[in-house]
Structure 1
C-alpha cells in the first residue's frame, strides 16, 4: 500500500490519549466505553499508561464509526491516521505479501 499512513509510537500515543479525553468528555460516550471494555472508572488513569490499553481505546473508536467520525471532526485527525495509530500501538505494522 503506497498511501498507508504511518505514525511514530509517540504520535500514536498522542492520538490515543486525545481519543480517551474525547470519550471521557461525554457521559454517554464514556458509559459506552466502560460497558464495552469492562474497565472501571477508577482504573482508567493507570491503564492509560499501557500501549495495549491505548490501542484498545482506538479499537473502541474503530468499532463505533459515529464516535470515530465525531472525534476526527473535533481533532482534525483523518480516520486513516486514527487507524494507523491503532496499528502502531498494537504492534501490527505489517503489509500482506500476497495480493
Structure 2
C-alpha cells in the first residue's frame, strides 16, 4: 500500500494530465497552476487533492483504472490526510 502522501501526489500527477479536471480542481480550490509544486508539500493541500477525487466516483474510478491504484488506497489516504475532524467522510 502506498503512503497517503504518495497517493495524493499520484492523484495530482494524474490531474496534471487531465486538463479539464485540473482546471476544475484549480477553480474549486483557488490554487494557481504556478503554485502547485509548492502546494504539494502542504498536507492540507494534499488532503484537498484527495477530497476532490473522492467527491466524484467516476473520476475516482478513472484515476484508479489509469494508475492501477486501488480505491481502498484512496480511501485510506483520505482518512489519513483529512484526520479525525472528518470522521463521516469515509
**TM-score range with shorter-chain normalisation?**
0.7 to 0.9
- The residue number in structure 2 matching 1:25 is 17
Larger Rg belongs to: 1
Specify every segment of 5 or more residues in structure 1 that has no aligned partner in the other structure, as ranges.
1-6
Aligned to 1:61: 53
1:78–1:31 distance in 2 versus 1, CA, 3 Å: same
1:27-83, Cα deviation, whole Å (9 max, x unpaired): 111111111111111111111001111011000001122111100111222212201
**TM-score w.r.t. length of structure 2:** 0.85
Normalized per residue, the structure richer in helix is 2
**What count of residue pairs does the alignment treat as equivalent?**
88
Hey, what does 1:4 align to over in structure 2? none
For the aligned residue pairs, the C-alpha RMSD in angstroms reads 2.3
Q: From the superposition, tell whether residues 92 and 77 of structure 1 become closer, same or farther in structure 2 (CA, over 3 Å).
A: farther
Specify every segment of 5 or more residues in structure 2 that has no aligned partner in the other structure, as ranges: none
In the alignment, which residue of structure 2 is the partner of 1:3?
none
TM-score of the two chains, using structure 1 as the length reference = 0.78
User: For the structure 1 residues 42 and 66, does the alpha-carbon distance in structure 2 shift closer, same or farther, using more than 3 Å as the test?
Assistant: same
